[in-house]
Structure 1
Amino acid sequence: MPHQYIVPNIWCQGNAEEVGRFYSEVLPDTTSEVAARYPETGLLDFQQDFAGLPLMVTVTVRDFRLSLINAGQEFAPNPAISFFLMFGPVGFGGPEGAREALDRVWAGLADGGEVLMPLQQYPFSERYGWVQDRFGVSWQLGLFDEDGADPPFVMPALLFGGPAQNRAVEARAKYAAVFGDDFEAGDAFPYGEQTGPATPDALMYSEFRIKGVPFTAMDSGVEQDFSFTSGVSLEVHCADQAEIDRLWEGLSAAPEAEQCGWLADEFGVSWQIVPANMGELMEHPGAFERMLQMKKIVIDEL
């Protein structure tokens, strides 16, 4: 499997294995496996109940990787970062196959969950719906019917609402500046007129890529009482300390949020800036305890 530069991490409240099994049953071509476990010793007081239990579960949806972080009750995902699933005829054996797959996945995700936008026809899509599953993770499902095109199946979707309202254009510019040549701007469609809290210049929909990883970004067209949290974070796999230092300096905007490689940017989006070989480094004796004392990860000290 090709290296994935940015891996979305979903905060799970002690049930990461259960969540992973659920996704492997509901999503097409999906597997889950325990990728790391908590050590038996050296844990902080609030982590003692997790000794020896899974720390991270890797979920692979087709070729796209998600990580489930097994932790406590501190955070939970919300619709500020959802996952857009694009069902196209190329990837699902034709238009009928794509529609059947979409409806099947929708039924699984909606079972025990909450429908945020009903599955139906909209001006922008023949068939689309937005659902929050039983574990609080949000998914947008859309039918893509452009002949010959094969869009990415999974795209993390950033929704700028609440305190981040109308900042999607600014965020795209910021990420372009921070990631430089690794940032590729895609289509961007403004609302064109005042739509709820969204100004005419705010983004109704946009796409971009960071080192090949696809994202969508939009400003909310309705008032929202939530915004970005650590419930879903974006883990960047850096080649070396110089890249860690550069991204940390460019993104971190909340010193109080800096811990164990985590940071929050000026829009509230949580990032984890880590070495690409973090799993290997964490096998060093005492590395977990040393990491707990860090804000920015310093490779030579692990």
Structure 2
Amino acid sequence: MNNSIYPCLTIKGKIAEAADFYLDTFGDGGITSSNPIVITLKLSGQQFMLLNDGPSSTPNPSISFMVLSENEQDTEAYYLKLINGGSVLMPLDTYPWSSKYAWVQDKFGISWQLYTGGKNDMNQKFCPTLMFTGPKAGKAEEAVHFYSNLFPENGIQGILKYSEGEDNTNYVKHAQFKIKNFVTMAMDSSAEHGFGFVDAISLVVNCKDQAEIDKYWDGLIANGGHEVACGWLVDKYGISWQIVPDKLGEWMTNPGKFQHVMGALMKMKKLIYTELENA
């Protein structure tokens, strides 16, 4: 699987340890590139970026990763490894929606929802799940439509509202949608969690040309989003994105090009494809 959208996790000072930990926990993967700033790895064919520096925030459960397993044994094995040094947000148990489920936060602060279920039409094991809380509670359905309208290869696969007595019945209990063929999930929660979206977890969008960069950049900062720096932005819901050329990783791993690309990139907010390519 070569999704053009993938998560970036800020794990300061511990990216090598984290990469080894995730490979040991989930198996079926490997490191695809490594330097002191960034490690990229694949888990079950999906790309993850681990960032050693940058955002000052730390990860929290507002963005978690649903991990889909077909059998309870895998779910339990993931659980036992992830809670080593981590914490339990929902204990491993049988729930109405899954025969074996847990929500945990690992020792690096990354949250995982471990779900056991049958095969479905998704060729994706890890799905980022966006939890809209605090002043953003109730915005999940709007956000699902917003992202689906902006990105191609999209589709809203389901929006389930809370039942009476669970939460606000206008709020989303679970939504599933695709953007650029990348399955993402969303939910609302009116509970007082004490956290919201932060830039410690961002979504990276690889773009084939400047037109794509412009489209996603301008679309995501519209109506209340804002530019940050070096290809980073925050959208109107508070979610952080990196809108980057699809060849940025290739340029950054080229020893003869790295310093020139970094020098050009550090001066930009929205990235200029040709300037980085020719740096």
Q: TM-score, normalised by structure 2?
A: 0.91
1:65 to 47, 68, 73: 47
| Displacement after TM superposition at 1:31 (Å) | 2.1
Q: 2:80 corresponds to which letter in structure 1? A: A
1:277 corresponding residue in structure 2: 247
| Contact 1:14 1:72 (8 Å CA) reproduced | no
1:14-38 CA-partner distances (Å, limit 9, x unpaired) = 11011001111111313235x253x
Matched, 1:119 2:92: yes
Q: 1:191 corresponds to which letter in structure 2? A: Y
Residue 74 of structure 2: SS of its match in structure 1?
Answer: helix
Matched, 1:184 2:155: yes
Matched, 1:155 2:155: no
1:245 to 205, 214, 217: 214
Residue 177 of structure 1: SS of its match in structure 2?
Answer: helix
Alpha-carbon spacing, 1:301–1:64, altered in 2? closer, same or farther (3 Å): same
Residue 37 of structure 2: SS of its match in structure 1?
Answer: strand
1:100-144 CA-partner distances (Å, limit 9, x unpaired) = 111111000011101000110112221110000011000000110
| Contact 1:55 1:70 (8 Å CA) reproduced | yes
Q: 1:87 corresponds to which letter in structure 2? A: S
Q: Please give the alpha-carbon distance, in whole angstroms, between the structure 2 residues aligned to 1:3 and 1:100.
A: 28
1:294 to 264, 268, 272: 268
Q: Please give the alpha-carbon distance, in whole angstroms, between the structure 1 residues aligned to 2:153 and 2:164.
A: 32
| Contact 1:195 1:221 (8 Å CA) reproduced | no
| Contact 1:233 1:269 (8 Å CA) reproduced | yes
Q: 1:224 corresponds to which letter in structure 2? A: H
Q: 1:128 corresponds to which letter in structure 2? A: Y
Residue 136 of structure 1: SS of its match in structure 2?
Answer: coil
Q: Please give the alpha-carbon distance, in whole angstroms, between the structure 1 residues aligned to 2:269 and 2:30.
A: 32
| Contact 1:262 1:273 (8 Å CA) reproduced | yes
Matched, 1:74 2:74: no
| Displacement after TM superposition at 1:186 (Å) | 0.7
Residue 182 of structure 1: SS of its match in structure 2?
Answer: coil
Q: Please give the alpha-carbon distance, in whole angstroms, between the structure 2 residues aligned to 1:130 and 1:77.
A: 15
Count how many residue pairs are aligned between Structure 1 and Structure 2.
270
| Contact 1:13 1:73 (8 Å CA) reproduced | no
| Contact 2:137 2:190 (8 Å CA) reproduced | no
Q: 2:22 corresponds to which letter in structure 1? A: Y
Q: Please give the alpha-carbon distance, in whole angstroms, between the structure 1 residues aligned to 2:139 and 2:5.
A: 22
Q: Please give the alpha-carbon distance, in whole angstroms, between the structure 2 residues aligned to 1:158 and 1:28.
A: 25
Q: Please give the alpha-carbon distance, in whole angstroms, between the structure 1 residues aligned to 2:66 and 2:192.
A: 21
| Displacement after TM superposition at 1:208 (Å) | 0.5
Q: 1:133 corresponds to which letter in structure 2? A: D
Instruction: State which drifts further: 208-217 or 185-194.
Output: 185-194
Q: 1:268 corresponds to which letter in structure 2? A: G
Q: Please give the alpha-carbon distance, in whole angstroms, between the structure 1 residues aligned to 2:240 and 2:141.
A: 18
Q: TM-score, normalised by structure 1?
A: 0.84
Q: 1:85-164, aligned counterparts within 5 Å? A: 85-88=67-70, 98-145=71-118, 152-164=124-136
Alpha-carbon spacing, 1:265–1:150, altered in 2? closer, same or farther (3 Å): closer
1:210 corresponding residue in structure 2: 179
2:189 corresponding residue in structure 1: 220
Matched, 1:9 2:5: no
Q: Please give the alpha-carbon distance, in whole angstroms, between the structure 2 residues aligned to 1:245 and 1:85.
A: 32
| Contact 2:206 2:244 (8 Å CA) reproduced | yes
Alpha-carbon spacing, 1:73–1:152, altered in 2? closer, same or farther (3 Å): closer
Q: 1:114 corresponds to which letter in structure 2? A: S
| Contact 1:81 1:156 (8 Å CA) reproduced | yes
Question: Which runs of 5 or more structure 1 residues have no equivalent in the other structure?
Answer: 38-53, 89-97
Residue 18 of structure 2: SS of its match in structure 1?
Answer: helix
Residue 32 of structure 1: SS of its match in structure 2?
Answer: strand
1:43 corresponding residue in structure 2: none
The ranges of structure 1 where at least 4 consecutive aligned residues each deviate by more than 4 angstroms after the TM superposition are 148-151
Alpha-carbon spacing, 1:276–1:72, altered in 2? closer, same or farther (3 Å): closer
